[in-house]
């Protein structure tokens, strides 16, 4: 074995990949070979490091030097300066807004307050090499379970750990396994729900891309616990890198006999197949997901019976989310007490959030339960860009609600978020600033759910559509008194009457924005004004006569011929003709056009 003195880690997650990291990887290998360093420096493609905002990311160990926004042209310099001569390339080192450069990974505030359990191997190992996973105790948990533990011991350990479903609902994982184990029968299934559909959420994708073996190992452990021999991973086809790496991981695990027949000579057989979803949001709902695995139309059905009794092919089935599974091998190895020592009274361990929207450090963070939103957004997330003011954060995507400034210090767990009208959800966290109109945000999320509603039950099919029509009316400046009350009434009925989680949660974005930002709704309806200045139909462009020099530039650029006047005297905008495109304001050199 050659000893490598340095490892160059190039991020191969989706974010950095689309930033060109595969070219960087190729160029890195060529340049290193050219300098004759290929025997002493190893180049590794890893999963997501989390700080996607500054990608493509390259990290050099043993120093842990964190290079951000690397381009292919930078590679020769990194090789000749850093790798050959040991001089770090200062200009490429990631710098925090108020601090000097030369920081290694663990000193950056983005990483400092994080506790990485589900993401422990993401950005550390090469996900396409099973040996690297094994080197960091991979498959040791499966070995321990199969050689030392009874199935019931596994379930008891998970119960004691307090692990709850990370897909959003937060059902205790150990209890779910117990229900499934209690059902008699020798044909059972383990299903991994990797149909991550929330707009703005990419936690599961990063785990699958960065540490696929952790999911496989956990599924085998669950299979042993409930007596199943087949596992299905239901992954959306829109995650090509994740699907590819899962395929490689399953193949490698089979070659090593870590999947297949008689694993660890224990007599336990387990195999995993990948099923691709076609991108329907409703297929993230477990009964719809199961129907889709069976080859049926992806529509939910009423529960009970729960999948634990009647799931895939009407057999007992345990369905877990990717992030939930990724925690399991660690819990087995380090013990339930270790896991239960983190988090709040009712919610143990950590949660991964995907930060998006108006935030400096867009990316992926894993924090202990009970961390406040303020810490996530301002300490780890680096605050709001361009000095704007924070307005609200949306958790739980289209099923969740918004959290306004007054609740920034709420410790995050399932119960506390539900109490303030939002929900944990799978972990998407979209940040909004003073420029975002909350009515329009609600309209955006509802538009998504109307689109994704499967149409099986009327409350969701018809009710959400009616709500959307009212919202569209309001943002178009045609809201009527009584609209807010109608939205509240409809929302309550849909929550009560819809068949599955999609419909039951669809009104949440509307109800929570009404709860915290009712004045914005009222301004739209009563005063025909959008307080954030976002809604186009409510904008009004006017020319300030005292500033206008009459150059006619605005009139020439106006596509609707709405501006008229005499050269060298002030122009006017005809409000009936104006389409509010804003072309005039860009053209005016004198700041004479005002928008309200």
Instruction: Tell me the per-residue interface mask from 405 to 424 with other proteins, x by CB under 8 A, - otherwise.
Output: --------------------
Nearer to other proteins, 86 or 304 (CB): 86
Judged by CB under 8 A, the number of residues near other proteins is 35
Q: How far apart are CA 194 and CA 187, in angstroms?
A: 22
Rounded to 10°, the helix 464-475/483-497 angle is 160
- Candidate segments 211-219, 236-244, 250-258, 398-406, binder of other proteins by CB under 8 A: 250-258
Alpha-carbon distance values, 575 to 361, 561, 568, 572 (Å)? 41, 11, 22, 9
The yes or no reply on residue 134 touching other proteins (CB under 8 A) is yes
Site membership for other proteins, residue 338 (CB under 8 A): no
Residue 84 lies near other proteins (rule: CB under 8 A): yes
Task: State the alpha helices, DSSP H only, in 256-371.
Answer: 286-293, 322-334, 336-340
DSSP letters, 196-209, are --STT--HHHHHHH
Shortest distance in whole angstroms from residue 328 CB to other proteins: 17
**Bridge partner residues of 430 (DSSP):** 356, 394
Question: Is residue 125 a contact point for other proteins (CB under 8 A)?
Answer: yes
Bridge partners of 503? none
Residue selected from 49, 67, 139, 232 as contacting other proteins according to rule CB under 8 A: 139
| Two structure tokens written together for 1 | 């074995």
Report in angstroms how near the CB of residue 245 gets to other proteins at its nearest: 18
92 closest CA partner among 108, 70, 107 = 70
| H-type alpha helices, 431-582 | 438-452, 458, 464-475, 483-497, 501-505, 508-522, 553-557
Q: Is 140 in the site for other proteins (CB under 8 A)?
A: yes
Burial-class residue 568 by CB neighbours within 10 Å (0-12, 13-18, 19+): exposed
Other CB atoms within 10 A of residue 92 CB: 21
CB closer to other proteins out of 124 and 347: 124
145: contact with other proteins by CB under 8 A: no
93 binds other proteins (CB under 8 A): no
Task: Confirm or reject binding of residue 333 to other proteins (CB under 8 A).
Answer: no
Closest CA to 578 of 547, 546, 551, 540: 540
86 near other proteins, judged by CB under 8 A: yes
Q: Which of 6, 384, 474, 494 binds other proteins (CB under 8 A)?
A: 6
Q: Which 8-state DSSP code applies to residue 379?
A: I
5 or 540: whose CB is closer to other proteins?
5
The answer to whether residues 386 and 371 touch, using CB atoms and an 8 Å cutoff, is no
Candidate list 12, 56, 143, 343; residue touching other proteins; CB under 8 A: 143
Q: Which is nearer to other proteins, 42 or 236 (CB)?
A: 42
Rg (CA), the chain: 27
Is 153 a binding residue for other proteins by CB under 8 A? The answer is no
Nearest to 405 by CA among 426, 382, 433, 379: 433
62 scored as a contact of other proteins (CB under 8 A): yes
18, 147, 526, 564: which one contacts other proteins (CB under 8 A)?
147
Min separation Cβ 580 and other proteins, Å: 54
14-22, 85-93, 165-173, 521-529 -> range binding other proteins (CB under 8 A): 85-93
Does 2 bind other proteins (CB under 8 A)? Our answer is yes
- Shortest separation between residue 104's beta carbon and other proteins, angstroms: 10
Residue placing its CB nearer to other proteins in the complex, 77 or 415: 77
Out of 4, 306, 338, 378, the residue judged to bind other proteins by CB under 8 A: 4
C-alpha to C-alpha distance for 109 and 422, rounded to whole angstroms:
27
Asked whether position 442 contacts other proteins by CB under 8 A, the answer is no
Told to check if 107 binds other proteins by CB under 8 A, we report: no
Comparing CA positions, the residue from 3, 316, 329, 272 lying closest to residue 142 is: 329
Per-residue x/- track, 264-303, other proteins (CB under 8 A): xx--------------------------------------
C-alpha pair distances (Å), 542 with each of 525, 550, 562, 576, 578: 22, 14, 11, 12, 10
Residues 6 or more apart in contact with residue 506 via CB below 8 angstroms: 398, 399, 446, 449, 453, 460, 464, 494, 498
Q: Least distance (Å) from other proteins to the CB of residue 365?
A: 20
- Minimum distance, C-beta of residue 263 to other proteins, in the bound complex (Å): 6
Collapsed DSSP state (helix, strand, coil) of residue 505: helix
Whether the CB-CB separation of 143 and 162 falls below 8 Å is answered with no
Nearer to other proteins, 91 or 596 (CB): 91
Three-state SS string over 32-46 comes to HHHCCCCCCEEEEEE
- Check residue 7 for interaction with other proteins (CB under 8 A): yes
Does 596 bind other proteins (CB under 8 A)? Our answer is: no
Q: Does 112 bind other proteins (CB under 8 A)?
A: no
**What's the min distance (Å) between Cβ of 109 and other proteins?**
19
Considering the complex, state which of residue 7 and residue 374 has its C-beta at the smaller distance from other proteins. Answer: 7
Candidates 136, 492, 493, 567: give the one binding other proteins (CB under 8 A). 136
**Residue with smaller CB distance to other proteins, 143 or 396:** 143
From the list 5-13, 150-158, 180-188, 409-417, the region that binds other proteins by CB under 8 A is: 5-13
Residue number with CB closer to other proteins (125 or 442)? 125
State the DSSP code for 84: I
| Stretch of 130-138, 214-222, 303-311, 565-573 contacting other proteins, by CB under 8 A | 130-138
> Does residue 77 belong to the site contacting other proteins (CB under 8 A)?
no
Location of structure tokens 């918004």: 402
Output the six-digit token pair for 287.
Answer: 């009964």
| Angle between the N-to-C axes of helices 483-497 and 508-522, in degrees from 0 to 180, rounded to the nearest 10 | 170
Q: Interface residues with other proteins (CB under 8 A)?
A: 1-7, 9, 40, 42, 61-63, 84-87, 124-125, 131-132, 134-137, 139-140, 143, 147, 256-258, 263-265
């Amino acid at each position: 074995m050659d000893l490598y003195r340095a490892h160059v880690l190039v991020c191969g997650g989706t974010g950095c990949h689309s930033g060109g990291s595969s070219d960087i990887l190729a160029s890195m290998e060529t340049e290193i070979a050219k300098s004759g360093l290929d025997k002493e420096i190893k180049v590794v493609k890893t999963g997501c490091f989390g700080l996607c905002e500054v990608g493509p990311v390259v990290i050099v160990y043993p120093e842990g030097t964190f290079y951000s926004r690397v381009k292919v042209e930078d590679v020769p310099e990194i090789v000749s300066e850093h790798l050959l001569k040991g001089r770090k390339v200062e200009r490429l080192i990631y710098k925090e807004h108020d601090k000097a450069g030369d920081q290694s990974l663990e000193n950056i505030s983005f990483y400092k307050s994080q506790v990485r359990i589900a993401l422990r191997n993401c950005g550390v190992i090469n996900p396409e090499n099973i040996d690297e996973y094994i080197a960091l105790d991979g498959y040791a948990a499966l070995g321990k379970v199969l050689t030392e533990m009874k199935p019931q011991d596994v379930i008891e350990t998970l119960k004691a750990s307090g692990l709850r479903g990370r897909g959003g609902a937060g059902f205790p994982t150990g209890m779910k396994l117990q229900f499934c184990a209690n059902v008699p029968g020798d044909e059972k299934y383990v299903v991994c729900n990797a149909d991550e559909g929330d707009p703005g959420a990419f936690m599961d994708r990063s785990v699958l891309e960065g540490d696929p073996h952790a999911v496989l190992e956990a599924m085998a452990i669950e299979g042993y616990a409930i007596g199943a021999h087949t596992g299905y991973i239901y992954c959306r086809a829109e995650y090509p890198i994740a699907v590819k790496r899962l395929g490689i991981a399953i193949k490698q695990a089979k070659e090593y006999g870590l999947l297949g027949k008689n694993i660890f000579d224990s007599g336990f057989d387990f195999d995993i197949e990948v099923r691709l979803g076609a991108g329907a949001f409703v297929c993230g709902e477990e009964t719809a997901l199961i129907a889709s695995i069976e080859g049926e139309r992806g529509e939910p059905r009423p529960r009970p019976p729960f999948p634990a009794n009647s799931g895939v092919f009407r057999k007992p089935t345990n369905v877990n989310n990717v992030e939930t599974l990724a925690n399991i091998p660690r819990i087995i190895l380090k013990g339930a007490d270790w896991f239960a020592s983190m988090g709040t009274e009712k919610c143990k361990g950590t949660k991964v959030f995907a930060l998006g929207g108006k935030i400096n450090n867009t990316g992926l963070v894993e924090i202990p339960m009970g961390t406040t939103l303020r810490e996530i957004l301002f300490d780890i997330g680096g605050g709001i860009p361009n000095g704007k003011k924070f307005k609200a954060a949306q958790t739980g995507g289209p099923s969740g609600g918004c959290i306004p400034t007054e609740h920034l210090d709420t410790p995050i767990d399932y119960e506390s978020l539900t109490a303030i009208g939002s929900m944990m959800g799978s972990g998407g966290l979209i940040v909004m600033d003073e420029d975002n109109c909350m009515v329009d945000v609600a309209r955006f999320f509802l538009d998504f759910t109307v689109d994704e509603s499967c149409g099986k039950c009327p409350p969701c099919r018809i009710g959400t559509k009616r709500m959307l029509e009212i919202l569209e009316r309001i943002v178009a400046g045609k809201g009527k008194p009584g609209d807010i009350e109608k939205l509240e009434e409809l929302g309550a009925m849909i929550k009560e009457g819809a068949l599955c989680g999609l419909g039951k949660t669809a009104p949440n974005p509307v109800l929570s924005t009404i709860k915290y930002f009712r004045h914005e709704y009222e301004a739209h309806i009563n005063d025909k004004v959008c307080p954030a200045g976002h809604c186009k139909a409510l904008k009004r462009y006017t020319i300030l006569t005292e500033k206008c020099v009459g150059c006619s530039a605005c009139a020439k650029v106006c596509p609707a011929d709405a501006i008229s006047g005499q050269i060298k005297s002030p122009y006017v905008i005809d409000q009936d003709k104006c389409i509010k495109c804003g072309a005039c304001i860009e053209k005016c050199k004198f700041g004479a056009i005002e928008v309200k």
